Amino acid sequence: MSDERATEPRIRIKANGPYLISGSVPLIERYPAESAHGEPLAWDPVGVRGERQEAPATCALCRCGHSENKPFCDGSHARVGFVDTLTTDERRSASRRTTLVGTGIVMTDDAELCVHAGFCETSLSTAWDMMERTGDPEVRARAEVMIDNCPSGRLQRALEEGAAPVEPAYVVSIATIPDGPLWVRGGIPVEAPDGLTYEVRNRVTLCRCGHSGNKPFCDGTHKAVNFRAPRREQQE
Give the three-state DSSP class for 229. coil
Strands (E), 37-154: 40-43, 53-54, 58-61, 98-101, 106-109
CB contact burial 78-103 (16+ within 10 A = b; e otherwise): eeeebebebebeeeebeeebeebebe
Q: What is the pLDDT of residues 199-227, one digit of tens each?
A: 999 999 999 999 999 999 999 999 999 99
| Final residue belonging to a domain, choices 116, 136, 158 | 158
Residue 163 belongs to some domain of the structure: no
| Residue range of the domain that includes 140 | 93-158
Q: Are residues 108 and 216 in the same domain?
A: no
Domain count, the chain: 2
- The burial of 38, by beta-carbon neighbours within 10 Å (0-12 exposed, 13-18 middle, 19 or more buried), is given as exposed
Q: Are residues 140 and 175 in the same domain?
A: no
- Report the half-sphere exposure of 35 (CA within 13 A, side-chain side): 10
Q: What is the pLDDT of residues 73-128, one digit of tens each?
A: 999 999 999 998 999 999 999 999 999 999 999 999 999 999 999 999 998 899 99
Indicate the average pLDDT of the chain: 91
Nearest to 227 by CA among 217, 218, 236, 215: 218
Q: Are residues 182 and 70 in the same domain?
A: yes
Residue 23 belongs to some domain of the structure: yes
